[in-house]
Structure 1
Amino acid sequence: MVTPNLCQSAFAVLRRIEPTLVLEQLGSSLFATALQMVVKDRCVNATYPDAHLSREGSQQRAMTDFYMAYDLTVRLVPLLPALLIARLGDRGWRRVPIAVPLCGYVLLSLTLLLVVVLRLPLQVMFGGAVVFGLCGGFGAYWPGVMTLAALSSTAAERSKVMMKVELLYGTAGLVGSLASGHLFLLYSSSLGTGTILIAVAALLQLLCLAQAITLLQVSHESHQETEDTSHLLPDDSGEVPAPAERNRVNVVLLIATAVLYGAAVGGAVGLMDAFVLKEPLSWSATQLGYGHAAGCMIFLTSYLGVTVFRRWVSDVTLILIGMLSFASGIYFMSFVRTTSMFYLARSLNLFALIPMPTIRSLLSQQVPASSCGTTLTYLQMALKFSGLAYIPAFTKIYQRTLDWFPGFVFTLSSVIAVLGMIPISIVSCRLRQKQKYTRIEVD
């Protein structure tokens, strides 16, 4: 009797979104380290005679130029496919925003594997990025995951549920990052460095795709629509059920907050990979994996922060705490010169991942459930569009300040994060006014 029950429990778990998240993030974390080390190896002999750069300066410029073009491709191509996939999801095909992007992840990993094994030019990765984007990319995958989380939770518990998703995602990234540096060192002399690491990443993503297609069970009915709607007053947390119509002003302000914060985080973190590979840090593949793991630890601390703080503060205050945590940590990163200083700076980012899932939670409460997936995808597209501006800007600023102050981009990122606190503060005032008006109406 015990064995059948265990089998049934295991099968029930495999039908949930959690195994999908774990397998995908494990594969992605391995892929990220592999791509970074392959790019470093291919750019080691880069030269820019007209710019009179040192060997390390030339390598940094070549790496950042590659990542700029690669990131812009990954962000630009998925814009239209992600919206089409989101509309299919809102029409009842909830599995599509999960499965289709996973096909892109598998193909992208296979492209990197071919680049290493067949000694193809690094520019072939741009073709892989295009295919990845046509499958919707992260811009379709993550809103699809968050939509399933939003529709399976009540408004009062939504921010906590979404933060649980982030926690699981980060925990898987932590494990994958810790293992990635060691797996990178395993290689066959006939195939090249990193082959085993990339192959394992592709296998994990292939298993993830198989699970999403054959086993993943999705709910087509919103929990929000079935819960008791007899309450006339919002609860003490200040959260309100999703309205029948959009609150357009709040939606715009929330998206503005997300765009500013996303630009601050994306601009800084995107260049951190190049920053730690240059002197005086000069990290190895193993240290690089540990650095990624330190970033994934923030998922855990952010989840604990949401669990503790939400008992006393509103979602808006949670967002402000997270933004302040990131701004302080990334400002300290400007002056990092040793590995210990790097980890100290990252420790200040304890709650830096609280804002984005909480913004998504608030955003889902401002629109009807029938358009939740599309709205969250619009948010993701806004973040992608902003990347078309801040990625080249941060890259060029980093290249031009490399000799006199390489950490200047981190100071700039801190300033943008502080500016992002303005629109969310306006949302807080509007929600309080609405709550007060509702109470007066009921009285």
Structure 2
Amino acid sequence: MVLPSLCQTGFTVLRQIETVVVLEQLGSTLFDTALQMVVKDRSVNATYPDSHRSREESQQKAMTDFYMAYDLIIRLVPILPALLLARLGDRGLRRAPIVVPLSGYVLSRLALLLVVVFRLPLEVMFGAAVVFGLSGGFCTYWPGVMTLASLGSTATDRSKAMMKVELLYGAAGLVGSLVSGHLFLLYSVSLEQGTVLLTVSALINLLCLLHSVFLLQVKEVTNTEPEDNCHLLPPAYSEAPAQAPLGKNLVNVVLLFAAAILYDFAVGGAIEILGSFVLKEPLNWSATQVGYGNAAGCMIFLTSFVGVIVFRRCVSDVALIMIGMLSFASGFYFMSFVTATYMFYLARSLTLFALIPMPTIRSLLSQQVPASSCGTTLTYLQLALKFAGLAYIPTFTKIYQGTLDWFPGFVFMLSSIIAVLGMIPISIVGCRSAQTRQYMRIQGD
């Protein structure tokens, strides 16, 4: 009796969205390390005859130019596919925003594998980025994941449910990053460096795709319960029963969008440059060190989850977001002055709670709209972040290239300032929620 029960429980857990998240992130972290090292290798002989750049500065410019074009394609192409797939998801096809992008993940991994094995030009990855974008990409996949997590939980536990997904995402990334550098170094006379790593990555993503098609369980949720929970205040701060607002709370939605865009602008701009920054002097990391550095970034998922569990007992969701933004701002201000590997890890340690803001903002957004438009709203947010990427990618890239010779860390200081600006709309949301609580107390009296 015990064994069948355990098997049934294990099979039920296997069919949850968390399994998809773990498999996809494992494959993606292996791919990220491989792409980073392949781009470094192909950029080592880059030259710019019309400039007076050193060899290292030329390599950095070639790398950042590639990432700028590659990331712009990934952010621009998925816009229409993401909207279409989000509509399909809200009309009942909840697997579509997950299955279709995962097929793009598999194809992009295979493309880089072909680039390594057959020594194809690195520009092939621009075509792979287009295919990945047409499948919906991350801006379709992640809202699809968050929609399933959101609709499978109550409004009270929604922040915790979303952070649980982020926790597993980070744990899988941590494991994948730790082994990625070692797998990249496995090669022989007949195998190019990185072949083993990319083969494993492609197989894991293929397994993830098959799981989402045949095993993923989609919980049916009625429209009545979520629509009755469209309020901002967590239960610990509600002293009297409140009437849930009808429809969308547009003011809060706009403020939350503004905060998310500013924070994503800061984080995305810094991370866009960080991968190239650690590969230049004085850090000059190897593949193994790149994996460890990526693992340090993934550790933030774990510490942010612990932060949510601890802090949500005594502070509101708005305060949680403020803590996370302040954590990122302080860490990347220190990152501006990093000149040694140990200083990098010290700067990363200050960003312990930097991943709290985005899932908490998504949680608050999902409580401002009816369940019937939850998936579409989260996708609109993801698309807004993509448009922000179209601005911050070339901006931070050109600023970094222009400051390489006198202050390479200037972009990190700039991202810290922008993160602080993102705290302004969140503060306004906090003031509005305080007024709402006061109004409820008056009604209760």
TM-score per shorter chain, which class?
over 0.9
1:290 to 289, 292, 295: 292
Equivalent positions of 1:181-220 (< 5 A) are: 181-220=181-220
CA distances 1:39-91 after superposition (whole Å, capped 9, x unpaired): 00000000011111111010000000000000000000001111110111111
1:438 positional shift: 3.2
Relative distance call for 1:154 and 1:250 in structure 2 (3 A) is same
Question: Residues of 2 paired with 1:242 and 1:94: CA distance?
Answer: 26
- Tell me if structure 2 keeps the 8 A contact 1:26–1:204: yes
Task: Give the direction of change, closer, same or farther, for the CA distance of 1:241–1:170 in structure 2 (3 Å limit).
Answer: farther
Aligned partners of 1:155 and 1:242 also within 8 Å:
no
Q: Give the aligned residue type for 2:211.
A: Q
Q: Are the aligned partners of 1:73 and 1:133 in contact in 2 as well (CA < 8 Å)?
A: yes
Count of residues in correspondence between the two structures: 441
Partner of 1:435: 437
Report what 1:354 is aligned to: 356
1:282-331 CA distance string (max 9 Å, x none) = 00000000000000000111011110010110000000000000000000
1:42 and 1:365 map into 2 onto residues whose CA distance is: 47
Contact 1:242 1:366 in 2 (8 A): no
Following superposition, the deviation at residue 189 of structure 1 comes to 2.5
Contact 2:227 2:370 in 1 (8 A): no
Aligned equivalents of 1:194, 1:222: Cα separation in 2: 47
Structure-1 separation of matches of 2:38 and 2:238: 49
Q: What is the letter of the counterpart of residue 209 of structure 1?
A: L
Find the aligned partners of 2:136 and 2:91 in 1 and give their Cα distance: 17
Work out whether 1:415 is the aligned partner of 2:384.
Answer: no
Unaligned runs of 5+ in 2: none
Rounded to whole Å, the distance in 2 between the matches of 1:283 and 1:46 is 19
Cα drift, residue 404 of structure 1: 0.4
Change in CA separation of 1:241 and 1:201 when aligned onto 2, cut-off 3 Å? farther
Deviation at 1:367, TM superposition (A): 0.6
Cα contact 2:154–2:226 (8 A) shared by 1: no
* Deviation of 1:238 (Å): 5.2
Q: Deviations over 1:208-228 (max 9, x none)?
A: 000000000011205971798
1:87 maps to: 87
Q: 1:223 to 1:295 in 2, by over 3 A?
A: farther
The letter of the residue matching 1:88 is: L
Q: Determine which of 377, 388, 391 is the counterpart of 2:390.
A: 388
SS of corresponding position for 2:235: coil
Runs (4 or more) in structure 1 with deviation over 3 Å come to 226-229, 237-244
Asked if residue 400 in structure 1 is aligned to residue 402 in structure 2, the reply is: yes
Q: Separation in 2 of the partners of 1:86 and 1:227?
A: 19
1:191 Cα shift?
3.2
1:9-408 equivalences under 5 Å are: 9-222=9-222, 225=225, 235-237=235-237, 243-408=245-410
Opposite residue 282 of structure 1, the aligned amino acid is N
Q: Residue type matched to 2:402 in 1?
A: R
Amino acid at match of 1:86: A
* Alignment TM-score, normalising by the size of structure 2: 0.96
Instruction: Name the aligned partner's letter for residue 407 of structure 2.
Output: F
Give aligned-pair identity as a percent.
75
What is the root-mean-square deviation of aligned Cα atoms in Å? 1.8
d(CA) in 1 for partners of 2:224, 2:347: 40
Alpha-carbon distance between aligned partners in 2 of 1:225 and 1:305, rounded to the nearest angstrom: 28
CA distance in 2, matches of 1:241, 1:66: 52
Cα distance per residue 1:254-296 (max 9 Å; x no partner): 0000000001000001110000000000000000000000000
1:242 Cα deviation after fit: 6.7
Counterpart residue identity of residue 133, structure 2: G
CA 376–417 in structure 1, closer or farther in 2 if over 3 Å, else same: same
Shift of 1:234: 6.9
- Quote how far apart the aligned CAs of 1:10 are: 2.2
| Offset at residue 149 of structure 1 (A) | 1.0
Q: What SS does the corresponding residue of 1:409 show, helix, strand or coil?
A: helix
- TM-score (normalised: structure 1): 0.96
User: Residue 236 of structure 1: CA displacement?
Assistant: 2.7
Amino acid at match of 1:107: L
C-alpha contact 2:20 2:212 (8 A) present in aligned 1: yes
Q: Secondary structure at the match of 2:27?
A: helix
SS in 1 for 2:354: coil
Distance 1:65 1:294, change over 3 A: same
